[in-house]
Amino acid sequence: MKNRYIKRFLPYIFKYKSAIIFALVFLVVASLLSSLIPFIVKNAIDNYISAKNLQGLIKLSIFLLLMIGVQFISKLIQIYLTNLSGQKIMKDLRHDLFQTMESFEIDVFTKEPSGKIITRITNDVENMNELLTSGIVSLLGDMLMVVFSIIFLFYINLKLSLISLIPLPVAIIAALFLGNRMEKIYEKVRDILTRMNIHMQESLTGLPIIQTFGVEKTNLSKFSNITKDFRFTFHKAQMLNIMLRQSINALSYTSIVFVIVFGGLFALKGTATVGTIVAFLVYLNQLYGPLGDLSDRFSILQNAISSMAKLDDFLTSNNVEKEGNKGFKKPVQGEIELENVSFSYDKDSIILENINMKIKKGEKVAIVGFTGAGKSTIANLILSFYEPDSGSVKIDGIDTKILNKKELRKNSAIVLQNIFIFKGSVRDNIALGREDFTEEKIINAAKEIGVHDFIMKLPNGYDTELSTEGKNISVGERQLVSFARALVYNPKILILDEATASIDTNTEEIIENGIKKLMKDRTSIVIAHRLSTIRNADMIYVINKGKIVESGTHRQLMQGKGLYYELYTTQFKKI
């Protein structure tokens, strides 16, 4: 299973293999030079200090300083290359993850909490970066130091090496056993942290509701329970970490005692030197130090593997839209047909049943009905955010199942009641980042809708920065910006879904003429609209409990005195 995760992300690493190979080469050089230093110190003590050879000692010291300089530069280059490669890999990975996320079917975002999605693209990707820059490289560096240290120990004095390394197997077993236990506990820590992020994100988004209904204490209690779980689990992991480090320290000190006792005896017998004892003490530190850090390496490694699994699951368990260049592509004209369409979000509840509509190019159609009747679902089916359970939705005679969805949506626009305003300038919110839209085109769209004068009254006109969700302008003003956004894209198909429900009377008067221009010469679908466009529609469909119960013009439906008559006289009479 882990191999599958690794294979998925290996192409990102191979893209920068040259830099990574060079980094590994410099890592080997730096590790080898670090391992040579105690050996050179031993020679300095035994061959020069003991012999009182000052000239030889100075030459050896100069050589040692040069070697330390080369080691320093090698380590610096290795760190630079690994960090540079890591950041480039993470940039590519985040780009692909974000691009994939944008291609998810729309129902993914109703199932997955946004906090969880954000955690995947930020925290989980960063965990993988840490694996490359701190985990794998440090683990390889530690392994090289252990191997080189053991080689030099046995080269210097075989008998003393065998005695001093007696505690080493115990240290390795302890590191593997406790490391495995920590791996499982840290997995729980990460899951709890994800729950905490989701709860915080939902609480921030829903804070007005929480305060309005006075459930702050209940919400805080839920958060406190999560933090208690986190504290308990993280404390358990920390205690295991401390236990591992202290076990390694105790075994390391045991080896040091063996070196002092037996090294001293061998020195008295003439089979060892003072330089040997000094070198052994340094090498033991280089040997046991990485074992003490093994818990951190385990944590980084497990974090990365866990993140790989979650990213892989996130990418494979969520459905990506089957479209793009594979779909049938032709210019959209605007003719829409729903033929015997039935749809349900789940098997237990039918949202739409046997819906039949035929909308000609350039026609204006209204869809009205009670809340929850399925009106907005029809809009989502037309834009191919969902596919019908049965029947077909056709655009210009082509089934949306085989139609290129990007081409369809590029020629469509939808304006919702709860319009989203991005953090950025008014201009950016109208053009949505399209650099090919000229200033003149943006201003002309704003003028047609009637929002230009309002924009020019803002502190910096079209350059005025809007806050996230546009909270520094009124609801009506946000809607006006959204109308300008729809117009500047010049869609063939326009959907107004409760688009003016939040508009006050003054704003309604401003945009009434603008919305007529917006609907001119394009196929327009108006859902539960409270403006006169309902009365002037070429066809009105009345939806009730997922079925079309009436259809006709305003005059015909009023004369029929059915559900539309009831809705109009009660909800729309004030128009």
The letter for the amino acid at 245 is R
Domain holding 156: CATH number? 1.20.1560.10
Query: Does 6 map to a domain?
Result: yes
- The pLDDT tens digits for 216-228 are 888 899 999 999 9
Query: Does 400 map to a domain?
Result: no
Strands 493-497 and 412-416, by their bridges, are: parallel
Residues of the chain with pLDDT under 50: 1, 324-325, 531, 575
CA–CA separation, 295 vs 240, rounded Å?
9
Q: Are residues 272 and 412 in the same domain?
A: no
Q: Torsions phi, psi of 402, nearest 5?
A: -110, 0
- pLDDT of 567: 80
Residue among 552, 432, 409 at smallest CA distance from 493: 409
Q: Are residues 289 and 431 in the same domain?
A: no
Query: Does 485 map to a domain?
Result: yes
If one counts the domains in the chain, the total is 2
CA–CA separation, 43 vs 47, rounded Å?
5
Q: Is 390 exposed, middle or buried (0-12, 13-18, 19+ CB in 10 A)?
A: exposed
CA–CA separation, 318 vs 312, rounded Å?
10
Longest Cα separation, the chain: 120
CA distances from 446 to 7, 410, 427, 515, 531 (A): 50, 20, 10, 11, 20
446 close to 397: Cβ distance less than 8 angstroms:
no
- pLDDT of 152: 92
The conformational region for residue 330 under phi > 0 = left, psi -120 to 50 = alpha, else beta, is beta
Q: Are residues 312 and 418 in the same domain?
A: no
Query: Does 395 map to a domain?
Result: no
Domain holding 423: CATH number? 3.40.50.300
Q: How far is CA 44 from the centre of its chain?
A: 55
87 close to 79: Cβ distance less than 8 angstroms:
no
The two structure tokens encoding residue 134: 């701190």
Helix (H) or strand (E) holding 339: strand 336-343
Residue among 382, 404, 368, 390 at smallest CA distance from 334: 382
> Which pTM value belongs to this model?
0.67
The two structure tokens encoding residue 169: 């197997």
Q: Are residues 172 and 291 in the same domain?
A: yes
- pLDDT of 324: 47
Q: Are residues 372 and 245 in the same domain?
A: no
- pLDDT of 109: 65
Q: Are residues 218 and 366 in the same domain?
A: no
- pLDDT of 312: 76
Q: Are residues 295 and 371 in the same domain?
A: no
Percent helix, strand and coil across the chain, each rounded to 5?
65, 10, 20
Q: Are residues 98 and 21 in the same domain?
A: yes
Q: Are residues 518 and 410 in the same domain?
A: yes
Task: Return the axis-axis angle of helices 216-269 and 274-292, rounded to nearest 10°.
Answer: 160
SS3 524: strand
Query: Does 262 map to a domain?
Result: yes
Please, which residues have CB within 8 angstroms of residue 477's CB and are 6 or more apart in sequence? 451, 454, 470, 507
Query: Does 197 map to a domain?
Result: yes
Q: How far is CA 463 from the centre of its chain?
A: 29
Q: Are residues 172 and 85 in the same domain?
A: yes
287 close to 168: Cβ distance less than 8 angstroms:
yes
Q: Dihedral sign, CA of 109, 112, 114, 116? A: negative
CA–CA separation, 373 vs 534, rounded Å?
17
Domain that holds residue 486: 361-376+406-572
Query: Does 340 map to a domain?
Result: no
- pLDDT of 154: 93
Q: Are residues 180 and 293 in the same domain?
A: yes
Q: Dihedral sign, CA of 249, 252, 254, 256? A: negative
Query: Does 459 map to a domain?
Result: yes
Q: Are residues 367 and 311 in the same domain?
A: no
Strands 352-359 and 336-343, by their bridges, are: antiparallel
